[in-house]
Structure formats: C-alpha cells, structure tokens
Structure 1
Amino acid sequence: FIKKAMKRHGRTSAIVTDGLRSYGAALREIGATDRQDQGRWKNNRAENSHLPFRRRERAMERFRKMKTLQKFAAVHGTVHNHFNQERHLISRDLYRKRRSAALAEWRAVMG
C-alpha cells in the first residue's frame, strides 16, 4: 500500500503511522525509515476513519472459530442494513414509521 501511495502521490517528507511494527518493516523495505513519524496523537485522523470497523472488530472478538464469525457477519450485515435508519437525518415521526415498517417486514419474513 505504501509503495502504491508513494508512486501515485510522490515522495513525502513525513509518513505518519502508529506504533505498529509492520509499518517500520514495510518502510525499511522501501527505504523510507527516515521519513516515518510516530506520535501519540499524530495518527488520530487516520485512526478515526477506522472506528466503525474497529467497533465491529471488537464485537467479533468473542468468536472462537472463523466459521462462526463468517456466519454471523453474513447475517449481521443484512439485518443491520434493514434496521439502520440513520436517525440523525430524518424526523422522529418518519423514523418511528420506518422502524415499525421494518419490524413488521422482519416479523413477516421470520414468522
């Protein structure tokens, strides 16, 4: 990824990463260890974009087997998309109507 990004956007004066050791190894491989910039809050912008993924990842830590995780993830995606109404974008009345309709549809499918 780093090679591709540097090829596309050109060499930079600093590459901000977190403390993950694989970044150091990758930068050593392409000869850019002197450009690596690590810091406690320097990588916040990149890490905050990963929050939804990290939240899902933490919830799935309890699965012991990959097969169980894959089963859950396959079902969870469709169920979550069915019930996720993005409350902050619509009025309360419309939200409640959509939520009731989604629940009625779910009960029809499952019942």
Structure 2
Amino acid sequence: MTDHAASAGFLGIPLWLGCLALAALGAMIFSVVLLGLYAMRRSTQADLPNVLLGISHLAAAFSCMLPWGRPTTPPALAEPVASPAPPGAEGLVDSVVLIRDTRTLRSGIPRGGGQ
C-alpha cells in the first residue's frame, strides 16, 4: 500500500482534512447551542420569540460558512395586530415634532484677529 492510498479518506478527501472539517462543524454547532442556551436563560418568557428568531439568524449565518450552505433569510416576526381606534378618533393623526438647534458648530480657531 502506498503512502498516498493510506492517507486517502472518504471520497478521496485526506483524513486530516475531513477531521478538521468535522471539528469546525462541531465547534459551530456547539457555539450556536451554547449561545442559545445562555440567551434563553437570561430572557423573559415574553421575549422568547425574539430570542429564538435571533438564534435562527445566527444559525443561518453559520450555515453560510459551510461549503454546501445556501444563504437564506430567516423569517421575521409577525407584526403585532394594531388595536382598533376608539370611536371619534378617526380624524386624529399622530404627529412628531422635531426640534433641532440651528446653530452651526465652529472650530476652536478664531478667524482674523491680530495674533
């Protein structure tokens, strides 16, 4: 048996490269699971849908690093249903007032002046 035949692993992939790929895949899965468990322990029951959505985004990002991974966008959370407007409030419009300072910032170097 030649040296080349002994080092060939599954489907002609070298054994050391296959082991390295499996270790990288295991590290990615372990990190997603560990981060998910940590986030789920620290979140409240009401925030659980957002936490699970974040974990799915993280898993999708890690799967794009795999050779067979396809980048897909995980689904977003459903928008909460708006409560109906109270009677008589049909003509009211919510408005936002933006107040900003009209002064411009100047550098600390005085212009002109006899120095």
TM-score (norm 2): 0.27
Larger Rg: 2
More strand by share: 1
Higher relative CO (Cα under 8 Å, sequence separation at least 6) belongs to 1
More helix by share: 1
